[in-house]
Amino acid sequence: MKTYPAQAGPAMLAFLAAGSLLIPTTLRAMDSPEVTKLLAEVKAEAIELKVDSGDMESFTRSTMTWRGYGSKLDMIKGHVNNALTLLAKLKNAEATGSQWQQAAIKRIEPLLKELADNTTATINHLNDNQGKVHMPAFTGYVKANYALATDLEALIRDFVDYANAKENFESLSSKSEVHR
């Protein structure tokens, strides 16, 4: 068995990284247009979730009745259900996605499922404690929901922004290859 000096490792990685830049974009793993579209759709739902969860969190500093919370929770539940439907579509298309798209789906899934579970717990708590919406237990659920919705929206936004930047870079790269 032949051994190599420790310095060969970083040099080899640098060589491989440089070589990957020379591979034509047509040979690199292509992004799935379907996954890109679904990520944009789930981003729109995540934005609505964040806005509605933020509205509900602001209710904790008001005299909002349980009915107001219930109405907003119905909206949030709708967005969560839509996002879960989109997640199922993303999971079905996952194998067609590029490596980063597959990673995005794997990172979104647990956060969205946690938000769904927390939304269900919030609804159940409200149903069981309608007269106690300003008590710490309920406001804790509401604040946790808002924090999860904020994190989910930021995560998905970052992936969609990455997709847009990557597409712009590849478009510019292909234009510069034509002009050589």
| Mean of all residue pLDDT scores within the chain | 86
pLDDT of residue 178: 60
**pLDDT, mean of residues 166-171:** 88
Can you read off the two tokens belonging to residue 45?
């739902």
Domains annotated for the chain, with CATH where assigned, are: 34-171 (1.20.120.520)
Burial class (CB in 10 A: 0-12, 13-18, 19+), 98: middle
Predicted confidence (pLDDT) at residue 62 exceeds the cutoff of 80 = yes
pLDDT of residue 75: 96
**pLDDT, mean of residues 148-164:** 96
**pLDDT, mean of residues 163-178:** 82
pLDDT of residue 25: 45
Given a contact cutoff of 8 angstroms between Cβ atoms, the answer to whether 42 and 156 are in contact is: yes
Given a contact cutoff of 8 angstroms between Cβ atoms, the answer to whether 122 and 75 are in contact is: no
> One-letter amino acid identity for 21?
L
Which of 137, 126, 10 minimizes the C-alpha distance to 77?
A: 126
Percent of the chain whose predicted confidence (pLDDT) is above 70: 81
Q: E strand or H helix at 3, and its extent?
A: none
What's the pLDDT tens digit per position in 71-108?
999 999 999 999 999 999 999 999 999 999 999 999 99
Query: If pLDDT is split at 50, 70 and 90, which confidence band does 175 have?
Result: confident
pLDDT of residue 171: 83
pLDDT of residue 60: 92
pLDDT of residue 58: 95
pLDDT of residue 172: 87
Which of 126, 123, 40 minimizes the C-alpha distance to 83?
A: 40
Predicted confidence (pLDDT) at residue 7 exceeds the cutoff of 60 = no
Given a contact cutoff of 8 angstroms between Cβ atoms, the answer to whether 69 and 110 are in contact is: no
